[in-house]
Chains A and B, each alone.
Chain A
């Protein structure tokens, strides 16, 4: 396998990437990649949602504004949604959301959305590797200053 080149360099410190994955396709795809023992970078933390259509852009905004360096949303391929149309709605919302990011001063490359089916373990490996590489090339995201009254909580969050 020639995946090691897409794995983020071991020397680089891990960044914080959040993945919102639909239960039926992409979460299964990630599972398939795991079962197939495909090597993947370890920066991504997965949050499982019932459907990409459940991805309230608020989730992504909160992640990006409050500590994540990158966010990836992945669902079933269009026409393949477990709920028939969830990802069709998601596609519009996510595309519109992506276009808001530059206005906020957030590099739009910190957010991507895509489709990975449950059988596409290799595609999942490719997506995670490329996205992680993209985030590493951007480096850690700039953070908004936290409220001083919650300083103590952030010390714990590390």
Chain B
């Protein structure tokens, strides 16, 4: 709460210097906020930061090219900004970064799973996030969910809860965790055959809404996508798993060495398909091969956009 108030002060101070400040504001219910675009001082009253601030504010930056904007960022959001800068997709002088110590955001799927015996999240009459818990009132009864249980998986392994770089910072820096790519373990205990079946089953729910693509702050092709029904027609418009998976694989490959693991693709998916796993596998590969984690330094070139004449870490097949 104190941090939220401190952030409001910083935002108010920056408003006269920028076209708008992007943060979070009230959503359609009390569980999850909406991205919020502040231009007038009175709008700052409704600014929110906390477990409900799920969306990645960096997504909108390229839209504001040529205008000056300030951005409130969680650690993961700041990594997207750093990556956009590293790829020269935005200009440093056009963006002001406001950081704060993020304690993790809520995962709506986890909330739904934990509420399941009582109803669904949309039935909540009241929802209040506290320091350690979420209090939900449903059918007149109060239910208490510890934040640790409803935090998004990406937050449980987050190594950078504070903005990796910022112009302003509110509050005391928080400690991070180690990311050991344990999220891949469940899939990797399966046989190859079962993994193949896993993707077949998961992708069968895909409705081809492309929210995964559009929620990705680093998906840069925008309206010239491989999934386009016109040229060059890489995918058919049929409702088949193979085209749907091919899109996911292509999307992940485009992000290899660039994905910061913000998880917006997976959060945006209405069908609950774990599409982040593919990107995580590639991030691990890139980290292992080139010692690179995306979005930590606005100056570093993504590893697949460069090379070394002698690649010591690549073990080529000996024929």
A118 CB to nearest chain B CB (Å):
18
B192 CB to nearest chain A CB (Å):
5
B242 at the interface (CB under 8 A from A): yes
B33 CB to nearest chain A CB (Å):
33
Number of interface residues of A (CB under 8 A): 40
Q: Is the CB of B184 within 8 A of A142?
A: no
Q: Is the CB of B195 within 8 A of A89?
A: no
A57 CB to nearest chain B CB (Å):
5
Select from chain B the residue with minimum beta-carbon distance to A123: B319
CA distance A89 to B226 in the complex (A): 21
Of A65, A85, A107, A112, the residue contacting B242 (CB under 8 A) is A65
Query: Which stretch, A9-17, A33-41, A43-51, A92-100, touches the partner chain B?
Result: A92-100
Whether A65 contacts B246 in the complex (CB less than 8 A), given A99-B281, A105-B195, A105-B197, comes out as yes
Q: Is the CB of B239 within 8 A of A102?
A: no
Q: Is the CB of A104 within 8 A of B195?
A: yes
Contact flags A95-139 to B (C-beta < 8 A → 1, else 0)? 111011011111100001110000000010011001000000000
Which chain A positions have C-beta within 8 A of B249?
A: 58, 61, 65, 100, 104
Chain A positions 54-85 with a Cβ under 8 Å from a chain B Cβ: 57-58, 61-62, 65-66, 78-79, 85
Which chain B positions have C-beta within 8 A of A100?
A: 249, 252-253, 278, 281-282, 285
B94 CB to nearest chain A CB (Å):
30
- Interface size class on chain B is 35 or more
Q: Is the CB of A144 within 8 A of B192?
A: no
Q: Is the interface of A mostly helix, strand, loop or mixed?
A: helix
CA distance A144 to B199 in the complex (A): 10
B241 CB to nearest chain A CB (Å):
5
Which chain A positions have C-beta within 8 A of B243?
A: 147
CA distance A129 to B211 in the complex (A): 44
Whether A92 contacts B311 in the complex (CB less than 8 A), given A130-B319, A147-B240, comes out as yes
CA distance A62 to B83 in the complex (A): 28
A158 at the interface (CB under 8 A from B): no
Which chain B positions have C-beta within 8 A of A88?
A: 307-309
B277 at the interface (CB under 8 A from A): yes
Which chain A positions have C-beta within 8 A of B231?
A: none
A-B residue pairs in contact (CB < 8 Å), sample of 17: A58-B226, A62-B246, A65-B249, A89-B305, A96-B304, A99-B285, A100-B249, A100-B253, A105-B190, A105-B195, A113-B317, A127-B319, A142-B193, A147-B236, A147-B241, A149-B238, A150-B238
A contacts, CB < 8 Å to B:
57-58, 61-62, 65-66, 78-79, 85, 88-89, 91-93, 95-97, 99-100, 102-107, 112-114, 123, 126-127, 130, 142-147, 149-150
